[in-house]
A and B are shown apart, each in its own frame.
Chain A
Amino acid sequence: ALFRLAVRRLLSTSRSSVDSTEMRKFQLLAHKWWDEEGEFSALHSMNDIRVPFIRDTLLSMSSNYHLGSPLSGVKILDVGCGGGLLSEPLGRLGASVTGIDPLEDNIRTADQHKSFDPVLAERVRYKSSSLEEIVEESMETFDVIVASEVLEHVADLETFIKCCSQVLKPEGSLFITTINRTQLSYVLGIVVAEKILGIVPEGTHEWEKFVPPEELEHLLESNGFSVKAVNGMLYNPLWGSWSWTESTSVNYAVHAVRRGAQGEPGQGEP
């Protein structure tokens, strides 16, 4: 473990997408992931829109449907999985999920939480790792990558996207949810969400690291991806629920497909 820690420190001084200050922030909250009413309640309720988004997009691209197991046969990588809030529902829907997170405490929490359910224990596995660390052993391995509420914590966005491209199969899907960098997102996403309503633990986000969708689209398109959908998301603090919206000024979701060898994504399945 000491050796791994030393290696990780070395890596973090080189070009890496993991930011150590970000890791420290989440360290303190590592045990709170699974309290549905606690600090992460907004992430729990985000499953109500992000899981159907992923599920329905994948179903529409595939011609197989296994009753009761709509994502059966799909290999998913959940980057920045945290305590496994998104990995578990995807696993329950039949997918084979690998969740990675640089913070060991998060992985420990995630492992412990899934251990009681034999179905999840079989379908979901967790690994304490950054995205770069698994690239070599996982070239073109995954059908789908999910990076939800992660980009705004990443140190080097372009590296991150390049790694996603390497690890995805051709015509594989990349799903992202993140936060835009606008005046409104400063007011709502930081001032209101963190300081006033306490929906998000204070200090979680830094506005400078928020990613405008135009910038993200450009980065994706120039790194071998074809952007298929960009949808705005809206959080209602009174009901604690998320919904889709026209405006991408604060939160938004993206679906992109890695272009095949010919350079154009075909109509077929991943």
Chain B
Amino acid sequence: SSAAMAAARGWRLLAAFGRRPWARPRAPLRSVSAAAAAAAPLYDVVVSGGGMVGSAMAAALGHDIHFHGKKIALLEAGSRKEYDCMPDTYSNRVSSISPGSATFLSSFGAWDHVCSLRLKPFRRMQVWDACSEAMIVFEKDDLDDMGYIVENDVIMSALTKQLDAVADRVEVFYKSRAVGYTWPLPSHSCDTSPWVQVELADGRRLQTKLLIGADGHNSVVRKEAEIQSIEHRYDQSAVVATLHLSEATDNNVAWQRFLPTGPIALLPLSDTASSLVWSTSHGHASELVAMDEESFVDSINSAFWSNVNHSDFIDAAGATFRSALALLRPAGSGARQLPPSVAQVAPGSRAAFPLGLGHATHYVRPRLALIGDAAHRVHPLAGQGVNLGFGDIACLAHHLSAAAFNGSDLGSLKHLLKFETERQRHNVSLMAAIDFLKRLYSTKLTPLVLLRTWGLQATNALPPLK
């Protein structure tokens, strides 16, 4: 798929001479006459989907200095989410926020709210294999935070506050689902409205110069725009839960172990609690969610501590390789810490959801841009999902801001394509790497285990590779 995409990009470059050879979006059979459209309010940007990514997009644009005087609308099917202080229990949906995402969120004042609510920084990430001793430790030299574990509700609450701060520019429509979109005909042949028409479930209509689709991996916007998407369902579901640890600890390490059935991760929430993300087969996932609490806790501890998948051959080979590496780099790999053991699972916090991979062939069309899961969906094993979405927003907001300062038509394909090229280039390689890791670690076959064992050990010992 990345080869096809590279070819498509190359073709696009050559086509810069004259008209683009690939098909324009097919004109919809219904198109709205100017008179009928005139009644519906016109926005500069409509963001469809008020999750973390959609809300952050609306907030980022709302706070942009070149968007003063512009009208933005955010459509969210659910209700408003805001907390002044968090409930005692932790939510089971958390995200690993990278420092880059934290910087992005602070660029429009949302990070301060996150910090005042609840978050857990972690300094270290320890990743290891179930089939061998190989381990890799990620940490920053200067003891800075590597990342932050934040509940999704906390992020949403922070974003809601920042949306309130620019309510004169950003209108949020809660409990509003878009049910239909009408795309404009190519702009140079118009008696009909050149804007995108949006129809809501309650019959209200909006028009917009630019529609941003942030409505998740089953994006309606993407489907209505007839943008193809490469989808692959992993035979896996992720089980999430909130866990209480056996004893209080500094808990500033994120743990991940690759089991043959899938990676299990323990993400710190506080000194006594951690969040579980366990990707495993659908069957196993249902079992885990259904079993009694004690068995569940035992399964988790066993997954992290058991060496049942080791083979003597692999252990010996790994040990030999480590000695060889120690000759080259006596400093070698960092000390192995032991993961905490789990005592209890918070009642009612267990849930499972299916995992898949998805990538839209195009992120943009005239007057349309897709961001977040609507454009790309990844496996949670690298904790990258929402960070990719925030990266999309930072890039798109940058290009839209420049376009606004140049007086350009916000829906013009020219700057939207710049966003698409930048993000596809970044996202495709990252997604390929995550997918590759997922596949590599799904096997017990000795040669592959050996490969990844040595690979992991080498990578751990050699900073440039990390």
Which A positions have Cβ atoms within 8 angstroms of B? 31-38, 44-45, 47-48, 51-52, 55, 67-70, 88-93, 112-113, 116-118, 197-199, 237-240
Which candidate, B67-75, B90-98, B326-334, is the interface stretch facing chain A? B67-75
Q: Which of B193, B209, B407, B414 contacts A89 (CB 8 A)?
A: B407
Bits for B400-424, please: 1 = Cβ < 8 Å to A, else 0: 0000111111001110000000000
Complex CA distance for A93 and B67, rounded to whole angstroms:
11
A92 vs chain B, min Cβ distance (A)? 4
Q: How far is the CA of A48 from the CA of B409 in the complex (A)?
A: 12
Quick one: given A32-B188, A116-B34, A240-B16, are A68 and B70 in contact (CB under 8 Å)? yes
Output the nearest chain A residue to B209 by Cβ-Cβ distance. A117
Question: Nearest residue in B to A86 (C-beta to C-beta)?
Answer: B407
- Shortest distance between the CB of A43 and any CB in chain B (Å): 13
A81 to chain B, nearest CB (A): 14
Known contacts A67-B68, A113-B190; 14 additional CB pairs below 8 A are A35-B186, A35-B187, A36-B412, A38-B188, A47-B406, A55-B405, A67-B65, A67-B66, A68-B68, A112-B190, A116-B193, A197-B17, A199-B17, A239-B13
- Residues of chain A within 8 A of B20, CB atoms compared: 37
* Nearest neighbor of A39 in chain B, beta-carbon distance: B18
Query: Which chain B positions have C-beta within 8 A of A48?
Result: 406
- For B186, the chain A residues whose CB sits under 8 A away are 35
A–B pairs, 15, beta carbons within 8 Å: A31-B188, A34-B187, A36-B414, A44-B414, A47-B408, A48-B406, A51-B407, A68-B69, A89-B406, A113-B187, A116-B194, A197-B17, A198-B17, A237-B17, A239-B16
Query: What 9 A-B pairs come out closest when comparing CB atoms?
Result: A68-B68, A89-B407, A92-B407, A35-B188, A68-B69, A34-B188, A67-B68, A93-B407, A240-B16
Chain B 156-198 per-residue mask, 1 if CB under 8 angstroms from chain A, else 0? 0000000000000000000000000000001110100111000
Give, as a whole number of angstroms, the nearest-CB distance from B194 to chain A. Answer: 5
> Quick check: B42 and A237 within 8 Å, CB to CB?
no
B19 touches A (CB below 8 Å): yes
Residues of A within 8 A of B19 (CB): 37-38
A51 and B209 alpha carbons, distance in the complex (Å): 20
A237 and B14 CA atoms in complex are apart in Å by 10
Residues on the B chain within 8 Å of A90, using CB: 407
CB distance from A220 to the nearest CB of B (A): 26
Contact A36 B413 (CB under 8 A): yes
Chain A nearest CB, measured from B252 CB (Å): 42
Tell me the bound Cα distance from A89 to B65 in angstroms: 17
Known: A38-B188, A70-B405, A92-B407. A238 touches B13 (CB 8 A): yes
Set of chain A residues within 8 Å of B13, measured between Cβ atoms = 238-239
Complexed CA–CA distance, A52 and B65 (Å):
16
Is A118 in contact with B16, judged by CB distance below 8 angstroms? Answer: no
User: In whole Å, how far is B61's beta carbon from the nearest beta carbon of chain A?
Assistant: 12
Checking A33, A69, A197 against B188 with a beta-carbon cut-off of 8 angstroms, the contacting residue is A33
Q: Please, how many angstroms separate the alpha-carbon atoms of A240 and B18 in the complex?
A: 9
| A68 and B66 contact, Cβ closer than 8 Å, known pairs A32-B188, A35-B186, A37-B20 | yes
Decide: A237 and B16 in contact? CB cutoff 8 A. Answer: yes
A69 touches B407 (CB 8 A): no
Once the chains are docked, how many angstroms separate the CA of A256 from the CA of B209? Answer: 35
Q: Are B406 and A68 in contact (CB under 8 A)?
A: no
How long is the Cα–Cα vector from A197 to B34 in the complex, in angstroms?
37
Once bound together, how far apart are the Cα atoms of A109 and B246, in whole Å? 74
CB-CB under 8 A from A35, the residues of chain B are: 186-188
Q: Which residue of A lies closest to B408 (CB)?
A: A89
A68 to chain B, nearest CB (A): 3
Residue among B18, B67, B68, B186 with most chain A CB within 10 A: B18
- A198 to B19 Cα, complex, angstroms: 11
Produce 1/0 per residue, B44-68, CB < 8 A to A: 0000000000000000000001111
Cross-chain contact A69 with B16 (CB below 8 angstroms): no
Among A34, A113, A118, the one with the most B-chain Cβ atoms within 10 Å of its Cβ is A34
CA distance A145 to B360 in the complex (A): 45
Q: Which of B184-236 contact A (CB under 8 A)?
A: 186-188, 190, 193-195, 209
Given contacts A37-B18, A197-B17, contact A118 B42 (CB under 8 A): yes
Tell me which residues from 1 to 20 in chain B have a Cβ below 8 Å from any Cβ of chain A: 13, 16-20
Most buried by B among A37, A48, A88, A198: A37
A158→B292 CA distance, assembly (Å): 92
Q: Which residues of B contact A55 (CB under 8 A)?
A: 405-407
Please give, as numbers and ranges, the residues of chain A lying within 8 Å of B65 by CB-CB distance: 67-68
Question: CB-CB < 8 A to B67: which residues of A?
Answer: 68
Pair B406/A52 contact, Cβ less than 8 Å: yes
Chain A residues contacting B187 (CB-CB under 8 Å) are 34-36, 113
Complex interface: chain B residues within 8 A of A38 (CB) = 19, 188
Closest Cβ of chain A: how far from B398's Cβ, in Å?
Answer: 15
Q: Which residues of B contact A117 (CB under 8 A)?
A: 42, 209
